Amino acid sequence: MYTAGIDIGALTAKSLILEDERPLAFTIIPSGSNSKETAEKVMEATLSKAGLSQGDVAFTVATGYGRVNVPFADKQVTEISCHAKGAYSLFPMVRTVIDIGGQDSKAIKIGKDGRVMDFAMNDRCAAGTGRFLEVMAKALEVRLEDFGELSLQSKNKAKISNICTVFAESEVISRISEGAPKIDIIAGIHDAIANRVFGMASRVKIEKDLVMTGGVAKNRGVIKALEEKVGFKILVSEEPQIVGALGAAIIAREMVLKQF
């Protein structure tokens, strides 16, 4: 049996196909301005990788902010439920999930059976998200992909007191003009993000084991800064961007099985 999950986020779209309980293929592409076209494109790419056609897929669940614009989805499910389900399937011991996406961040408290017990979100501004990091990278004229490794070289991180994207950008420019090394500024940016996310996540009472999902989870500098706040190691899957799509595909499979 084949089921699919599709996650249309602010910056990237992800789709994943399960063959029974095994991930068969996945794709990650930029979201673009048209969610419907993006959904069709990312799903087509994954079907091609899997050697399947749309008719082979028994059920498709869509998630993410663009989930209502996926014309071929059989059901829409919130990111909270999908990230919890995906993280639990990868790390059955998980009790807290922190997801940092392109435009928002969220913390999810998970029970021993994988159910969502509580959650907190920051979706009112881009502070501490992938978009925030993109703006900072542009201001520093540094590739975003290099942020993580560069910040780990810092021995004296710069103080970035503003987390609002507009004011933080001005503060970064001021630090540059003061002659602060870029590696220290980047480390300071990561520390500011960690403070923001830790404050939000504390509302759901952070517990071990903590799993981080979303594109920002690929940034080792952010992970390290957040580990310093929580006081223990954070778990990250091999491809943290597809955890929501994985959870959606698992929910799709569960819905098919309920029909029998």
Please name every residue paired with 97 in a beta bridge, in sequence order, or none if there are none.
108, 211
Q: Which domains does the chain have, with CATH numbers?
A: 1-91+241-260 (3.30.420.40), 92-236 (3.30.420.40)
Contact indicator for 17, 46 with CB cutoff of 8 Å: yes
pLDDT tens-digit readout, 51-64: 999 999 999 999 99
Contact indicator for 192, 129 with CB cutoff of 8 Å: no
For residue 239, give the nearest of 208, 203, 209, 212 by alpha carbon: 212
126 vs 180, which has greater pLDDT?
Answer: 180
Q: Helices (H), strands (E): how many in the chain?
A: 8, 9
Q: What pLDDT is attached to residue 123? A: 65
pLDDT of 69 above 80: yes
Q: pTM for the complete prediction?
A: 0.94
pLDDT of 88 above 80: yes
CA distance 86 to 73: 18
